[in-house]
Amino acid sequence: MKRRSFLSLAVLTVCILVFGAQAVFASAGPDSRGVYRPTIYINGDKQTLTAAIPPSGSTLVPFRAFFSALMMDAQFDNQTKTVTAKNNDTTVTLTAGKKIATLNGREVQLLQGPELVDDGLMYVNLRFIAEAFGGKVQFDKTNLTIQIDFQNK
């Protein structure tokens, strides 16, 4: 009997240590819709962007705030629900609800199309935008952080 109690206690302790450690290293879990909220760093600087990782797995960010963090201007056409952003080398056009973007005049298939959400904001795919403009994206699933590096651009 003592041996069985000891074994049960040992298993319970291991479970607490394993699952407790995961809770410490991971950011807060998903919200009621299964959406995670990662922390984003651009060139090492922590951003105040509200990002979301829905069950599809792509990280979505509000386009205006994201382009502002990248120090770029983006224009939104309310009639067509299209956002266009450009710099000296690159032009990207995205349309809400479509999984095809235009990058420098050619069509590109997206894993996750832009979405208009309840708060009236258009959310776009962080990885696609960052890489289109020359950034290197690294996702740390354990710590729920995203590092974007434009320093070599």
* Percentage of the chain lying above the pLDDT 70 cut: 77
Mean pLDDT, the chain, rounded, equals: 81
CATH of 28-149 among 3.90.1150.10, 3.30.457.10, 3.40.50.300, 3.60.10.10: 3.30.457.10
**How far is 116 from 95, CA to CA, in rounded Å?**
10
**How far is 118 from 131, CA to CA, in rounded Å?**
27
pLDDT, one tens digit per residue, over 87-117 is 888 999 999 999 999 999 999 999 999 998 8
Q: Residue 56: its pLDDT value, please?
A: 81
Rounded to whole angstroms, what are the CA distances from 66 to 43, 50, 94? 14, 9, 14
Pull the structure tokens for residue 61.
Answer: 């960010």
pLDDT, one tens digit per residue, over 113-135 is 999 887 778 999 999 999 999 99
* Percentage of the chain lying above the pLDDT 90 cut: 56
Task: List the Cα angle 21/27/32 in 5-degree steps.
Answer: 115
